[in-house]
Amino acid sequence: LEAPGQQGVWLGPDDEVESLKPWFDQLPLIALDFPSFRDGRGYSQAYLLRTRLGWTGELRAVGDVLRDQLSHMRQCGFDSFAVREDKSAEDALKGLAGMSVLYGRSVIEPRPLFRRR
């Protein structure tokens, strides 16, 4: 995966994210592929990268990425999204609003609701 001025890695749902750890300091971007909106392995890969492996670079969701998924993807650690070409990016941004209260833990809020009160 290359963009002007930066390089990154594109991983499929079967790829082991742990194998990238030796190159974390050289990678500004990791893209995780969602071949279907029904395939949730990218959520687990993202959470693993952010929590257990400590990845701090840009984490992008690519593939069959839809508006309804964006809020949950953000909770799992994604900070950029490549929305499907047949969908409106402006409309997808509304999906980031998501839920006003999250009960469980997430990458961006590791404390469950009962610990936040």
pLDDT at 105: 66
For residue 63, list its beta bridge partners: 34
How many domains is the chain built from?
1
Q: What percent of the chain has pLDDT over 90?
A: 46
Q: Is the pLDDT of residue 47 over 90?
A: yes
pTM, rounded to two decimals: 0.79
- Scored b (16 or more CB within 10 A) or e, 36-51 reads eeeeeebbebbbbbbe
Residue 102 pLDDT level (bands cut at 50, 70, 90): low
Q: What is the mean pLDDT of residues 2-30?
A: 86
CATH code of the domain in which 20 resides:
3.20.20.70
Classify strands 58-63 and 29-34 as parallel, antiparallel or unpaired.
Answer: parallel
HEC letters along the chain: CEECCEEEEEECCCCCHHHHHHHHHHCCEEEEEECCCCCCHHHHHHHHHHCCCCCCCEEEEEECCCHHHHHHHHHHCCCEECCCCCCCHHHHHHCCCCCCCCCCCCCCCCCCHHHHC
Q: Are 57 and 27 in contact (CB under 8 A)?
A: yes
Domain around 28: 2-116
pLDDT at 101: 62
